[in-house]
């Protein structure tokens, strides 16, 4: 069973799927070791790790795809939902993006309707006209037939064009054959319920990390509202940044490491030194 088929089977199981956001080999390995079957290759996390900056459409397809291959190599059994962003261009670019991730083993890919390049401001996400967004999702669904990769269709238009337009786009994505739906930035639970009610039983995806100006239910509430997948873009990224700051502060203060640092033996085990030695043993020449 390939990754998309495994994802389809998982989506049929009861309960909310918790999907940590990952960005490289180490984050993916840690998520898998913690027992997570799935992970979201998050554009915001990749931007943070590669650029040391915010998620403002500066990361390229090549950088995202390279990060995917890191994740895939470190956690080959993890079902990865790849952030395909806006597809990196027009409908034909979307098809190239979808096919590339499908061939590389992604279980699903997110395609959104925001305009790129975005305006030179961090505020707001202007979106494509509705019918142009339709063509992107139509192209994605067509390209997905090659590998079976699932298409997660996202609309970012709620803050700029209102909930009615956002709902219309969700209904349009269903018509075009999207597998998973994502209304970004719902204002409240009523908007969430309205979105799920028009989804015709298809799974809905939600960002559950706190801090943004949107409705952010907890895990129990998300399941009760009808979400099927909940992701946490800052779930590992924020503690990782805090840990690095703590480590640097310890050095500045004259110490060797922060109190939260892993003991050396645990760090080596986490990184897999023992696994390497076990795998390499068969290739060691006799002395």
Residue 111, both tokens: 């395609």
Q: List % helix, strand, coil for the chain (3-state, nearest 5).
A: 50, 15, 35
Largest CA distance in the chain: 74
Q: What is the pLDDT of residues 181-225, one digit of tens each?
A: 999 999 999 999 999 999 999 999 999 999 888 889 999 999 999
For the question of whether the overall pTM of this predicted structure is more than 0.85, the answer is: yes
pLDDT at 106: 98
Query: Angle formed by the axes of helices 43-51 and 237-252, to 10°?
Result: 20
- Provide the token pair at 75: 């956690």
Q: Measured between alpha carbons, how far is residue 275 from residues 25, 73, 283 in Å?
A: 15, 15, 14
Residue 3: CB atoms within 10 Å: 23
62: left (phi over 0), alpha (psi -120 to 50) or beta: alpha
pLDDT of residue 272: 96
Which residue carries 């279980």 as its tokens? 107
d(CA 66, CA 102): 14
Domains and CATH numbers, the chain: 3-235 (3.20.20.60), 241-283 (no CATH)
Low-confidence ranges of the chain (pLDDT < 50): none
Output the pLDDT for position 122. Answer: 77
- Token pair, residue 58, equals 């500066």
Can you give the pLDDT at residue 120? Answer: 79
At 159 the pLDDT is: 93
Residue 117: the pLDDT is: 82
């Amino acid at each position: 069973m390939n990754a998309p088929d495994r994802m389809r089977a998982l989506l049929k199981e009861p309960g909310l799927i918790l999907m940590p956001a990952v960005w490289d080999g180490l984050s993916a390995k840690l998520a898998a070791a913690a027992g997570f079957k799935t992970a979201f290759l998050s554009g915001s996390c990749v931007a943070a790790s590669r650029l040391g900056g915010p998620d403002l459409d500066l990361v390229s397809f090549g950088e995202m795809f390279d990060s995917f291959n890191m994740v895939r190599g470190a956690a080959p059994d993890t079902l990865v939902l790849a952030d395909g962003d806006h597809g990196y261009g027009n409908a034909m670019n979307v098809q190239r993006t979808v096919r590339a991730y499908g061939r590389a083993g992604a279980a699903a890919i997110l395609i959104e309707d925001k305009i790129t390049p975005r305006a030179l401001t961090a505020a707001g996400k202007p979106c494509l006209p509705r019918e142009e967004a339709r063509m992107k999702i139509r192209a994605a669904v067509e390209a997905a037939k090659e590998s079976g990769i699932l298409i997660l269709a996202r609309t970012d238009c709620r803050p700029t064009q209102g909930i009615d337009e956002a709902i219309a786009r969700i209904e349009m994505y269903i018509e075009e054959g999207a597998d998973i739906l994502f209304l970004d930035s719902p204002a409240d639970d009523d908007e969430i319920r309205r979105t799920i009610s028009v989804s015709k039983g298809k799974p809905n995806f939600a960002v559950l990390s706190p801090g943004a100006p949107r409705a952010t239910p907890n895990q129990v509430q998300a399941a009760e509202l009808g979400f099927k997948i909940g992701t946490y873009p800052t779930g590992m990224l924020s503690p990782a940044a805090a840990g690095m700051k703590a480590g640097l502060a310890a050095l500045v203060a004259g110490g060797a490491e922060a109190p939260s640092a892993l003991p050396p033996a645990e760090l080596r085990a986490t990184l897999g030194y023992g696994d390497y030695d076990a795998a390499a043993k068969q290739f060691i020449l006799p002395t």
